[in-house]
Structures are given as C-alpha cells and as structure tokens.
Amino acid sequence: MAPSNIRDLLTAFNPSLDLFAITSGDGRIKIWDTVKGQVQTEFTDIVSEEDTSIFAKRERGHLSVDYTCMKWFTSERKKKRKLGCSLLVLGTGGGDVLALDVAAGQSKWRVTDCHAGRVSAISFARSGSSIYTAGADGMICEIDSLTGNLLGKFKASTKAISSMSVSADGKIIATAAAQMKILNLSDHKKIQKFSGHPGAVRCMIFTENGKYILSSAVGERYIAVWNIDGGKKQSASAVLAMEHPAVFLDSRCIDSGEVGDAGLYVLAISEVGVCYFWFGKNAEELRNAKPTKISVSSEDSLSETHRGSPAIFAAILQGIAKSASGQIFVATGLPVKPSFQKLLVHSGTDIKLSSSRDGVLLPISQSLVKSKRGQDVQNRVVALDRANAEDALLPIPKIFDSHEKKKKHEKLRFDKDEVMADLEDSRSLSGPVKTKDGTVEFELDTGAICMEDRLRSLGILSKLDDQTIKSTLNSAAFKSIDIQTNMPQKKMRAAVLSMVPSDTYKLLGVLVAIWQTRSSSGNYVLPWIYSILVNHSHYVMSEEPETQVLSSLFKVTKSRKAAIQPLLQLSGRLQLVVAQIDKATNTGNQILLHEDQKDESEDEDEDVNEIHFREEDDDSEISSDDEQ
Amino acid sequence: MIGGGKSYVSAPPAFSNDAKRLLVCTGTAVSVFSTSTGLQILSLEGHTALVTAVIVVPGNKALSFCWTASLDGTVRYWDFAAAELMKTIDIKMPIYSMVIPALLLGQTDSKVMPADAFAYLSVENTTQDNAPKALRGQIRKCSLTESRLAGVILAETRKPEVISISPSGKFFGIRNKRKLHIWRAPAKDSKLPVAKITLHHTRNFTLLALHPTKRLVAAGDTSGRILIWRGFGNRKFSDGDKLVNQGSMNDEEGRPGIRGDDDADSCTTWHWHPTGINLLRFSSDGAYLYSGGKEGVLVDWQLDTGKKKFLPRIGSPLLYLTDSLDPSLSALSCADNQIHLLKMPSMEITKSISGIKLPFSSPDVYEGICSKFAFDDTDGLVALRTENYRIQFYSLFDDREISEVQVCERNHQPGDEVSVIVTLVSLSGDGSMMSTVEVNLPEDGIGGLVCLKFWASDSQNKNFNLSTIVYQPHRDAGVSALAFHPTRQMVVSSSYGGDFKIWVCSDEIQQKQDTLQHSGWMCYAVGSYKKKPMTAAAFSADGSVLAVAAETVITLWDPVNNMLVAVLGEMQMPIVTLSFAGNSDYLLSISRGSKPQLSVWSMSKLSESWSYKLDIEDVTCAKDSSSFAVLAHLPKSSTFMGSNEPIFQGKDGVILLFNATDPVPLAMWSVRKAKGGGLAFLKGNSFQQQSIADGKSPQALLAYINADHEYILFDPYDYDARELRMTRGKDRVAVDETARYGYASIYGELPQFEMKRDQTLLAPYAPSQRPWETIFSGSSHNLLPLPKLCLEFMESLLERRTTTVE
C-alpha cells in the first residue's frame, strides 16, 4: 500500500463538530457539513471587505496564498449563544493572519505582515478572547479575536518557532523549535526548558490540566510527554511510540471524575492516516500503555497505484464515555470526499474502518469495475412477491392451534380456580391431568368423534371434580355447612359469621365452583353464596383482584340469566304446541304434566348439552377464547 | 431545552442592504442567514408568537435595521447586525401583514427613522365575537414614531389579508375576494386622506403585485390567470401628481378588458398556470413579471410582449420571490420549507436553505394509517415522510437535515394527482435499518399495490440502500403497523387482512474479493388470530414477547417459536397503538374513535392495571425505565376552552408523563397543535445533552413535534428547571410549562377522568342485537345448551311474522 501522506493537509473541526474545514494549503478552503457529509461552502479567494485600501495591490488568485496553519477559534462565552462567534483563523506563508467568519462566509479581519516570514502556529486559551500566533521570526503575537487588532508582540526565541501552544487556562505558553520552552504569558519569563527533540517540533499541545506537554517532532516516531512542574528534569516522562511520525495530537484528562474515570487520554494521527489512542491513569501508566489503532481498511489493489489511499486525516476526542474508552469523531476517506463518523474506542481494541469510494473519480478501466459493482448493488436487492411466506415458520397448524389455545384456555381457567388449589393440592395435580386427558383425546380423534365417549370421559371428569369439591367441603373448616339440606336463613347467617373471613372466602370459591359445575342444586348453593356475600363483602372485595371469584360468579349468573328468557320462551311455545295438540287429540293432560317436569329438570339438562355442544362445533373452540 | 424545526416559509424573507444576509421569519424568531454560505449567522428573538413580516430599512449598505411584525400584536425594531431589540410598539391585535411605505419613498438618507413614518398593518379584530359573517380582518394605519394606531380603518375583510406594496412605496393594496383595493400612500407631509380605488374581476383573486415605477398592477386568480391592469387610478390618483395618463378618456372602447367603472386604462389576461397563482412579482427594473403556483414552475413573463421563460423542476409549490438590491440575487421560497437563492438573469439556483419538511395532506382514506414520525433515539434523528415519496432524516440536536431517502422511484410533480403514498416508516433501535411501506393507489379500483421495503445503512449519514422489496406482503391487505425487534434483525408487520408476519434478515457473506454483505429479508413466521384484522404490533424491550392487537384484543406471541402465549382484552374500540413501557412488565394500548382509551396492562397478571378515557395522539416509552409519556388531546368541551385558566389558552393538547405503575401523572405540559404531533424519548449522547440541560446530563430527553413539524427537546425529569422554562416557554415552540399545581387544578375538572381499576379479566357475556356473532363465543361453562342456542339462532335468522294462529 502506498502510504498516503496527510502531512500537508490542514484540518479543523468547529467546536460543535458540525463543520469541518480542510485545505491543502493552496488557498482553497473547503468547509464540509459533517452531519450531511456535503460541502457546505468553499473559500477560494478571500477578499476582505476593506481591501480597497492601500493593501489592494496584493496579487489575487488563490495560488498566491499558502496557508501554513489553521485553527477554529471559539470563545467560551456560552451565555451569549451567538452563532457568529466562531472563527476560522489561518496563518499564511507570508506572515499574514486572517480570520474567517464561516457562517457569514466572509473574512472577519486580517492582520497583514504579522510575522516576518511564515506563521507557524496558532493557539488560544480556552477562555479569553486573544489569539496567539507564532512565526518563523521567533515572535509571538497576541491578536484580539473580535477586532483583529494586534495587542502585543514579544520575542520568544531567537530561532524560528516551529510549534507553539497555550495552556487551557491561558497562563503559560510553550514554544518549540527543536528545543521547547515554557514561558509565563503575563511577564514572558521563561519557566522551563526541555531539550530532547532532534528536529523541529511539528505538533505540541498542553493537556487539559496543564500538567503535561505532548509533543512530536518532524521525523520522530513517538510522542513525548513532558511533565511541566517537574522542575529541572530534562527528559521526557513518557514516550509513546508510533509507527509513523505524528501530525496531530489531542488529549483529554480527567482529574477528579468518578472513580475509575480519572486518567490521561491521548489521541494522535500519524502521517499515513492512522489514528492512535492511548489511555493511562497517570503518566507512568501511560508510558507502558499500548496504543489502540484506528485505521481505514486498505482498499483492494486497484487503488494502490492511485494517489492517496483512504486515511484518517482528522480526528478529535469528543469526550470520555467511560473509563478507558473515548468518543472520537473522525474524518476518514479521501480528502476529496471525507466521511465523518463517531467512534467509541475502547482501549485495547483496534478498529478497522471500511472506506467508501463515493465521490471519487476513477480512471475508465476502474470505472468499469465500478459500474459492474453498481450492478451488483442493484442485483443485491431481494424482491419477494405475494407468495413470500412459503417457507415461513408455519402458522401453527389448525389442530395444533386449537390445542394450543385450549391449553391456554384451560390454564387460564385454572388460574381462576386457584382458590380451590389453595385448599387442596391434589386438585391442582388432578387439574392438569384432566386437561391433558381431554385435549389429547381431542387431538387424536378430531376426525370422527364418538359423542358418547366424549360425554363419558367428561362426565367422569366432572365427577372427579365433584369429588374434590366434596372433599373440600368435608374438610375441617366447613363442618357446619351442609349443602344438601335446606337450612333456615338465620342459621346460615350464624354459620357464616362464625367463620374466619379467609375461610368464608374459600368457601365462596368452592360454592361458586359447585354451582358452576352443577354438582349441587342451585337451590341449596345460592342462599349460601348470598349469605357470604352479604356478611363478608369487604373481605371478598379486597381479595377480588387476585382471584376473580366474583367475576366468575357474575359471569355464571349472567349466563344463567340469559338462559332464562329462552327457557321461558321455549316453555311457552311448548305449552302452546301442547295446547294445540291437546285441542286436536284431547289427550293433552299427560303431556302437559310431562312438560312441567322437563322444565324443572332444565338445570341438569344444561350440563349435558353444554358439553355436547362444545365438541360439536370447532368454531366455538376458537371463539371461546374471546373472553379470556 | 432546544427547539427547532421551524418553517422558513411562513412569511416572505428579506434581504439585507448588502444582499449578504437574508432575514427569514422562523417561528417566533427572525433568523439571519448568510447568502454566500447558507449558514445561519444569528437570530433575533423576542416575539412571543409567529413573526409575520420582516422589513429591512433600506439605505446605506452598512445599515442593518429591520422592522418585524408578529401575531403577538407587536411591531419591533431591531439592529440585526448586533441582534439587539431597539423598539417595541404594542398594537394589541394580531398582525398578519405590514408595509411601511415611508421607508420606500426615497428617504434613503442616513436617518434611521423618518419623522412621520406610518406603517399599514393587516390586523385581526379579536374583539368581535365569532359570528360567521364578521369582518375580522382590518387594514389599519400605525404611527411608528408615536407608537400607536393612527387614523381610521382603511378596509375590513372577512379574514386578515396580505398587503402588497409597490417597490416605489407609492401604492399598496390588498385583495378582497373578487376585488382589489389599491391605496395611494399619502405624501410625506400631506394631510389628505388615503385615496383608494377598487378593481373587479369575476373570480376570487389570490394575490396582487404592483409595478415598481408604472401604474400597473398584476393580480392572480384561483384559476391561474394573471390579470394586468395598466394605468390604474388615473382619475382618482391623478390630482396630486400629474403622471403620464394619455388615454384617460372615459370612452368604453378605449379601455379593453375593464370591467364596469373600474379606474384603469386597460386590462390584459395571461393564462399559463393550471391552478391558482401563489407568487407574483415584478422584477426590480419593471421589465419582467415572475409568477408561480402549485405546479412548481417559475414563469418569467416579459411585460411588454408576454413572452415566457421557465424555471421548471423546482419540485415544490412556490410561495414567495424576494429580490435584493443586488440585481443578480433573489430568494425563492418553496412550500417544502426550502429557500433557494437564485442567480437572477439566468434563474439558476446557487444555494438552498432547507429546513424540516412540512406536513402534507394525503388522501383521507390513508390519513389514519400513516405513521407520522419514526425516531432514532440514539442519534436524535427523526424520519419524516415527505410529499415527494422520500423519507427525510432530520437531526433534532443540530436542527438540520441529514439526508433524504427516495423510497419510490418516481418523479414527483407538485401538481400531480397522488398515486403513491408512503404510509409507514420504522427505524430499528440502532438506527441502521429502516423499513417502509408504500401504497400504490388503485386507479378506478384496479392496481392497488402494497409494497414493503427494507433498507440498510452503514454510515452515520443515513445513506440507506434498499436491501429487500416485498410486493404485497399481506396479499391485498394493507399493512397496519411495523415494528423492529429491539436487538435482533427482526421486523413484524401486521395487516388488516388478519395476519401478521415476522421478517428476519439473513446475512450472507459473498465470497468475492471483498466481503460484500448480502442481506436479504425473508418471511420467518406468519400468525393470525381468528382472522381478525391486526391493527398494531410491538416488541417488548427484551424482544421476548411480541404483542399484536387483533382489533379489540391483544394477543401475545413468542416471536421465535411463533406461539400464541396469551390473549388480553378486550377494548371497546380497535386498538391503534401498542407499546411496551420500557423494561417494565407493562403494556400500553391505545384505542381511538368514539370511545378513546389508554390502557395499561400488567404482563405479570395478564390483566388491565389502569386506564384513562383519553384521546391519545401519540405515546412514547423511555427505554430503560418504566415511565412513558403520552400526547393527549384536550377535550373540546367548553368548560375547558372557556375556563379562565391561562394555561389552556390556545392549547389543544397535553403531554402527560406517567410511571406505568401509577395512574397519577408525574408531570404535565400543555402544548399547541397536538393533532398530528408526535412524542419520543431520545437518548442522544451525553455531550450534546449537556449543552441542552445546562451542563447536567439528564437521563433522557423528551422530544415533542407538533403538527407543523416544529419540535422541542426538554428534560422531562428536571423539576428544577420548570420555573426557568416557564418564563421562556412562551417564546419557544409551543410548549408551556405548568407547575404541578396545574395538574391538581384540573384534576377535578377532567370530565371523562375515569379510573377503571380491577378490570375483570374475562368480559361478561352480553347478548347483543346480532346474537349469532356472540352466541357461539364464550367459554364452555357459560354457554347455553344446544337446543336453546338453536332456537335463538334460528330465530335470529328467520323473520318474525306477525301472523296469528287461529
């Protein structure tokens, strides 16, 4: 892979990370919208508004300017949230410093011939409105960011300054040629001196807390970490090795965050466009830290011959998500069409980014390949027609379906019967057996159902139910209650009142079940239920949400109630019919009698018919779920 | 708290004197954009209601003053270079339009304000009652120097009209149904009353434009005609200034096209536009007339010859054309919330300022089933359906568009009949996948086609690529809901045809030179419940349970095994939305219609936990807690609107924040334009949030988008910030904060407030009018015996005859 070189690129993100400025130094600056991934605007020939003055003789054309450094300046005055307060500050090879108001698309101010020779570095403190520039003449200039007035100038070095940085609090400044100097900004006194870099330092930054300086010189394959308050110590406190020289540095340090968060985070980009990320709890740990590499996956052989393979050419540490991992915003790809990504980098896990070839003009031979691939992309769209569900997980076969539902149905019904389950465990055991029996049988012979068999089986089951209920009734708590006999109201009340509320509630459940299963005549059961409801209504109400006895009672009552009307109708019609027959044959007396009997025994009939009906009709199986 | 999503095209913009800045009315603020970069420079904030007019004071290029008028009844004067408010005039009537002739009458000296500057305002008379015939619109004169209304009412109209002014400042006019009223602005020191003429036409006018130098007025009508009167007002206006009026004889033959006794020389008609004219403007030199309408073509008429030039394919109805003092720069406002900067003689679009896509109306049949918004809660994006068959991704944090995805490969012409509608859009939890549903409308009942599409994106920029297209996913039935599995690549689509399908993405790696991810979606499972229409679907937070609403009941499924787990029910109206309340075991169901209801179901008890009879517009659940927020419509009852509680003035909705375990809301906010609005909890990343919540990193942010696609983000749990926001609330979007007593004060008032605790699990058997529908349903123990059923059933089928037995 031909290593692309991003040395000559100047890049800058704006503070809110939604704009990205890139220039190769030839006077054209492209501003990319990082959110959309599009070019927002381009500055080719910046003409300041007041250029009609004496400086107008300057030659025009973007090739006449060469930018040597670029920084996006913000003053941290968050209260006045003016959108226009961010400036792109540029230094030129001719010693000019200019500021662009990117949003307005115009030059804000320009300091002509600020330095004799090229401007080599721009830096500013986090708070404050001054911008500091350093030049090849060894001078440091302080410029007011709002007006562009030169506020001060002092000589920091006798040699050309290659890099310069101002600490976050704006109190000290570091300048570097080959030798690094720390100066106090207020009185320009030298505080400290570091020597160790063999060549000119290319990039240098203060850590956020101002305790360390990170620096890297041209041709060096490491980043040196210098301790500022280390007194006379002359050597670097840590050296972070890289495979290629660094062109860009960024760091975060958290001094007193939550436990485990504290540490130094260093981000660097090498000349070939690989991003390195270190984390250490302190400088000592940082020394031994292994870098986490973020690189763009090398393209296929086609692009190797081509100039410039995709690289990471800008990155910024956005923040620290949690300990040992940082949120990094990177610009990757080719400088002609960068793409922007947010990455969460965990220390120790390398990241390979895939690159896209969007917006790249390729020679014809390759564009064929490209177009082929384009077809591929189209071919990859899967189209399904209306028979799309053929090999889908089967929508539960019909029988299985009803089985499932029945099971669920049983289960739910069983939940309702929990009262009884409380009373006797055996019932809860017999319950599932019952359901299984019923359903298995149901499944097997759905084709031809022998009604008698079914009736019998269910009849037996209901007998079982009866037995359990009876056994419950016979249990110790309910000795005083004799369901089968007709007790006077007062006696009944006394019996109910004598019981503990929880017992009565259980009894209520049992009674409801009895009535439901018709194991005992309603004539006997209903007075008991009535009595319990009257005398223990509060307790019953309080228990209701869990057990729903009342609701099932209500339901049963309702259904019975609904049955009354048709029953009366039926009996009425039968009477009518009988009367007519009677009229015709004059032998009606007996039948009428018989009819009356039938009417009375209706309750028992229902029992049978209900089961009968349920197995007859499949639809009813399904629809019976309605109510669950 | 941040707001955004403002309409850029609610009012005509204005250029600054040096044409480098463009002042755009954006909601309650005026935003200043740079014309060279298209970026916002600053905004003028101070109005408390929609800004309806912005007028830049002409003059020196260095002058940067403007007048604004707003529906809050104030006229304000600003220095827009420094974003400073300099003067406020309170009219106390909502202002819909404003012109200041004095600014244009040649007083371009450095004097900031002419001594006797009058503004003409189009105001709404709010004092009148809501009589149907009331003339609510008034044209009033206002003295800017004395800060008061001056003089009489110039005209009264049914609604407030937009005032047009000639660039020379001599005339201004309004349309009033089939008439045009044109006034001549009085000269600087004349005490004469304002003179007025009226021109008539047979159709309703839509707007008018006045020529910069000549006495010439152009007006557009609803049929797309452009009428041009030359030499209007020669009789009435000529007394003051003897202009060239050679043909002002009163012979009818000499005045072609003039109706009745109208005061004009001649009237010509041009007809090119098929529908009503929205845009009409003379070029600054007066040689051309620009017109535009719904069809989205800017027509450039040569005034003398009537020759036309076109700028087609703008793609959206045109609204305003604004020209600057720089003759080569104009701004064209379009209905899709874009402002195009035109390079003028060639009519070339150089730059576009685009905002959030504005709501559009789809055919009524599909109105109900369309999903309004899909949110990507990690990136803070909203996906909106746009009119031109696209999905727009809009960043709520950055207040700007991220990308647009063309869903249907089809050209959109704004005037065309709609043939395709994108009805549903859904985003996966990580935002990397999207699925859409589009409906090809049948023509004459033939050819209706439903299409389900799956999209995938790899980058942050949301460049979605189509991965799978499914034609007729549910046979002929429409898709009612789409939902993504929270963790897996799984989508459920439910249909009105009575089934739901679970789709999964099968990843394949192609063995090519480079690993291309081939991912196709296929149907994994099909389920149905009693052939009932499936109306809503949702996955639980861990993805283990799938809830599908079968009209009035909720069915719970195991999505992997395609197994019905449980059935919950039942509601009185079909359920339209289902949502699991975060990671808690509660499920929310919403039904609308005549008996709207919000129900919270407990999954552990499989029963209803609590419910409200509220008309819910939207619901959102926080991902990692049990709280959820609903957007409810305020009832239309007069007790509410007429109540003297100020918090409900003009509000039609409330946002209620609940904890799923507790029916008492945690907080309440009243909002405007809730109908068609949306809610979402956003996570975002903490770095962006810190700037919103003043350095604090909130748990989650609540985003509210109203019907006009304006949105606001705020921290719903931040009780301390309530007071602060209450003061700011009014000038922000539409959200006002109410303190907690606000809820308590209305708690008793809510007429349909009804808590239904202890809902029975099993609905009782109730005989209905059509017994065979319910007769066979119900569990076995309460079914009637067969003979009885038969009797009733047969009886219900037969007609009852009233014959008597003899």
Mean pLDDT of A380-390: 75
- What is the identity of the amino acid at B112? V
Question: How many percent of chain B have pLDDT more than 70?
Answer: 77
Same domain, A332 and A469: no
d(CA A161, CA A118): 10
* Residue B557 near residue B527, CB atoms below 8 Å: yes
Sheet bearing B553-558, strands edge to edge: B534-539, B546-550, B553-558, B563-568
Chain B contact set for A341 (CB, 8 A): 459-460
Q: Is residue A617 part of a domain?
A: no
A395 → closest Cβ in B472, B526, B569: B526
From the CA of A283, how many Å to the nearest CA of chain B? 26
* Residue A311 near residue A6, CB atoms below 8 Å: yes
Mean pLDDT of B567-588: 85
What ipTM was reported for this prediction? 0.73
Q: Where are the alpha helices (DSSP H) in B172-331?
A: 234-237
Count residue pairs from A and B with Cβ separation < 8 A.
266
Residue with more model confidence, B747 or B274? B274
Chain B contact set for A404 (CB, 8 A): 563-564
Residue with more model confidence, B604 or B370? B604
Q: What are phi and psi of B55, to 5 degrees?
A: -130, 125
Strands (E), A461-519: none
User: Is B781–A516 a contact, with Cβ atoms under 8 angstroms apart?
Assistant: yes
* Residue B478 near residue B451, CB atoms below 8 Å: no
d(CA A250, CA A205): 7
Chain A contact set for B609 (CB, 8 A): none
Residue A406 has pLDDT above 50, yes or no: no
Chain B contact set for A35 (CB, 8 A): 395, 398, 400, 402, 461
Q: How many residues does chain A have?
A: 628
Give the best residue of A14, A18, A19, A35 to mutate against chain B (max B CB count within 10 A).
Answer: A35
* Residue B559 near residue B543, CB atoms below 8 Å: yes
Kindly report the pTM of this predicted structure.
0.72
Tokens describing residue B222: 């609803």
From the CA of B786, how many Å to the nearest CA of chain A? 6
Contacts of A467 (CB under 8 A, 6+ apart): none
A566 → closest Cβ in B468, B524, B784: B784
Cross-strand partners of A266: A251, A278
Q: Is residue A612 part of a domain?
A: no
Residue with more model confidence, B769 or A337? A337
Mean pLDDT of B488-513: 76
Range of lowest pLDDT (A143-157, B25-39, B275-289, B776-790)? B776-790
We report the CATH number of the domain holding residue A117 as: 2.130.10.10
From the CA of B254, how many Å to the nearest CA of chain A? 54
**Cα nearest neighbour of A358 on chain B:** B463
What pLDDT, in 10s, does the model give residues A294-350? 888 765 444 444 455 678 888 888 777 677 778 888 888 877 788 888 888 888 788
Mean pLDDT of B667-677: 82
Q: Residues A383, A386, A390, A396: is their CA dihedral positive or negative?
A: positive
d(CA A561, CA A159): 107
User: Is A562–B765 a contact, with Cβ atoms under 8 angstroms apart?
Assistant: yes
Chain B contact set for A321 (CB, 8 A): 686
- What is the identity of the amino acid at A551? S
From the CA of A168, how many Å to the nearest CA of chain B? 19
A555 → closest Cβ in B459, B606, B764: B764
Mean pLDDT of B525-538: 88
Give the best residue of A375, A555, A576 to mutate against chain B (max B CB count within 10 A).
Answer: A555
Closest CA to B539 of B506, B500, B505: B500
d(CA B310, CA B301): 9
Residue with more model confidence, B65 or B245? B65
d(CA A442, CA B24): 74
| pLDDT attached to residue B747 | 44
Residue A435 has pLDDT above 50, yes or no: no
Closest CA to B199 of B223, B185, B216, B213: B216
| pLDDT attached to residue B411 | 75
d(CA B300, CA B297): 10
Residue with more model confidence, A527 or B78? B78
From the CA of A194, how many Å to the nearest CA of chain B? 36
Chain A contact set for B564 (CB, 8 A): 396, 401, 404-405, 408
Tokens describing residue B538: 């949702």
d(CA B421, CA B565): 35
d(CA B475, CA B495): 9
Q: Is residue A51 part of a domain?
A: no
| pLDDT attached to residue A284 | 76
* Residue B477 near residue B483, CB atoms below 8 Å: no
| pLDDT attached to residue B191 | 55
| pLDDT attached to residue B461 | 66
| pLDDT attached to residue B54 | 92
pLDDT range class, residue B385, cuts 50, 70, 90: confident
| pLDDT attached to residue B369 | 66
Q: Is residue A341 part of a domain?
A: yes
**Cα nearest neighbour of A78 on chain B:** B691
Residue with more model confidence, A617 or B550? B550
Mean pLDDT of B755-777: 41
Residue A628 has pLDDT above 50, yes or no: no
What pLDDT, in 10s, does the model give residues A45-94? 665 444 444 444 444 555 567 888 888 887 655 444 444 567 888 888 88
Q: Which residue has the tokens 């005398």?
A: A535
| pLDDT attached to residue A365 | 46
**Cα nearest neighbour of B513 on chain A:** A300
Chain A contact set for B792 (CB, 8 A): 566
User: Is A624–B780 a contact, with Cβ atoms under 8 angstroms apart?
Assistant: yes
User: Is B37–A385 a contact, with Cβ atoms under 8 angstroms apart?
Assistant: no
Residue A374 has pLDDT above 50, yes or no: no
The count of other CB atoms within 10 Å of the CB of residue B578 is 24
| pLDDT attached to residue A397 | 45
| pLDDT attached to residue A369 | 44
What pLDDT, in 10s, does the model give residues A2-25? 445 677 788 888 877 888 888 886
Strands (E), B636-770: 653-659, 662-671, 678-682, 701-705, 711-714, 735-737
Cross-strand partners of A71: A89
What pLDDT, in 10s, does the model give residues A157-187? 888 888 888 888 888 888 887 788 888 888 8
From the CA of A556, how many Å to the nearest CA of chain B? 6
Residue B497 has pLDDT above 60, yes or no: yes
User: Is A106–B20 a contact, with Cβ atoms under 8 angstroms apart?
Assistant: yes
- Measured at the CA of A516, the angle between CA A511 and CA A520, to 5 degrees, comes to 65
d(CA A75, CA A70): 16
pLDDT range class, residue A564, cuts 50, 70, 90: confident
**Cα nearest neighbour of B758 on chain A:** A545
Same domain, A340 and A231: yes
What pLDDT, in 10s, does the model give residues B92-118? 888 999 888 877 776 544 444 555 678
Give the best residue of B16, B61, B455, B788 to mutate against chain A (max A CB count within 10 A).
Answer: B788
| pLDDT attached to residue B431 | 82
| pLDDT attached to residue B780 | 53
Residue A473 has pLDDT above 80, yes or no: no
* Residue B595 near residue B613, CB atoms below 8 Å: yes
Chain centre distance of CA B311: 27
> Which range marks the domain in which residue A323 is found?
11-45+64-298+308-355
Residue A32 has pLDDT above 50, yes or no: yes
B785 → closest Cβ in A390, A580, A609: A609
Q: What are phi and psi of A51, to 5 degrees?
A: -75, 0
Burial classification of residue B107, based on how many CB atoms lie within 10 Å of its CB (0-12 exposed, 13-18 middle, 19 or more buried): middle
**Cα nearest neighbour of A412 on chain B:** B566
| pLDDT attached to residue A8 | 77
| pLDDT attached to residue B365 | 64
d(CA A392, CA B526): 7
Question: How many percent of chain B have pLDDT more than 90?
Answer: 6
Same domain, A140 and A247: yes
| pLDDT attached to residue A82 | 47
Cross-strand partners of B123: B95, B138
pLDDT range class, residue A549, cuts 50, 70, 90: confident
Residue B174 has pLDDT above 80, yes or no: yes
From the CA of B452, how many Å to the nearest CA of chain A? 9
| pLDDT attached to residue B418 | 77
Cross-strand partners of A32: A20, A39
Give the domain-ending residue among A560, A591, A613: A560
Tally the C-alpha atoms within 13 A of residue B675's C-alpha that lie toward its C-beta.
8
B762 → closest Cβ in A394, A608, A627: A627
Q: Is residue A576 part of a domain?
A: no
Q: Which residue has the tokens 């790899």?
A: B458
Residue B182 has pLDDT above 60, yes or no: yes
User: Is A627–B779 a contact, with Cβ atoms under 8 angstroms apart?
Assistant: yes
Domain count, chain A: 2
d(CA A173, CA A471): 94
Average pLDDT along chain A: 70
**Cα nearest neighbour of B462 on chain A:** A36
Q: Is residue A496 part of a domain?
A: yes
Question: How many percent of chain A have pLDDT more than 70?
Answer: 62
Residue A400 has pLDDT above 50, yes or no: no
Closest CA to B28 of B729, B652, B703, B655: B729
d(CA B46, CA B606): 52
What pLDDT, in 10s, does the model give residues B406-426? 888 777 777 777 778 888 899
B782 → closest Cβ in A82, A356, A555: A555
pLDDT range class, residue B548, cuts 50, 70, 90: very high
What pLDDT, in 10s, does the model give residues A217-234? 888 888 888 887 766 666
| pLDDT attached to residue A480 | 57
Q: What are phi and psi of B378, to 5 degrees?
A: -80, -40
Give the domain-ending residue among A560, A575, A608: A560
**Antiparallel, parallel or unpaired: β B74-79 and B84-90:** antiparallel
d(CA B673, CA A68): 53
B460 → closest Cβ in A340, A376, A580: A340
d(CA A317, CA A328): 5
Chain B contact set for A389 (CB, 8 A): 501, 523, 526
Q: Coil, helix or strand for B744?
A: helix
B40 → closest Cβ in A83, A619, A625: A83
Q: Is residue A386 part of a domain?
A: no
What pLDDT, in 10s, does the model give residues B185-225? 776 555 556 778 888 888 888 888 998 888 889 999 888 88
Chain A contact set for B501 (CB, 8 A): 388-389, 392
Q: Which of B122-136, B536-550, B666-680 has the highest mean pLDDT?
A: B536-550
| pLDDT attached to residue B24 | 92
**Antiparallel, parallel or unpaired: β A351-353 and A292-296:** parallel
* Residue B521 near residue B505, CB atoms below 8 Å: yes
Chain A contact set for B401 (CB, 8 A): 36
What pLDDT, in 10s, does the model give residues A102-125? 887 778 888 888 888 888 889 888
Q: Which residue has the tokens 């036409």?
A: B201
A36 → closest Cβ in B402, B514, B567: B402
d(CA A244, CA A222): 8
Residue with more model confidence, A515 or B336? B336
Q: Is residue A248 part of a domain?
A: yes
B778 → closest Cβ in A386, A516, A624: A624
**Cα nearest neighbour of A36 on chain B:** B402
| pLDDT attached to residue B248 | 42
Q: Coil, helix or strand for A248?
A: strand
Give the domain-ending residue among A510, A525, A560: A560
Cross-strand partners of B503: B491, B523
Q: How many residues does chain B have?
A: 806
CA dihedral defined by B44, B48, B53, B56, rounded to 10 degrees?
Answer: -30
Cross-strand partners of B403: B393
Chain A contact set for B398 (CB, 8 A): 16, 18, 35
B37 → closest Cβ in A41, A380, A555: A41
What pLDDT, in 10s, does the model give residues B676-723? 888 888 876 555 544 544 445 556 788 888 888 888 888 877 655 444
Give the best residue of B524, B562, B784, B794 to mutate against chain A (max A CB count within 10 A).
Answer: B784
What pLDDT, in 10s, does the model give residues B335-361? 888 899 988 878 888 888 888 888 877
From the CA of B635, how many Å to the nearest CA of chain A? 31
d(CA B583, CA B485): 14
The count of other CB atoms within 10 Å of the CB of residue A570 is 17
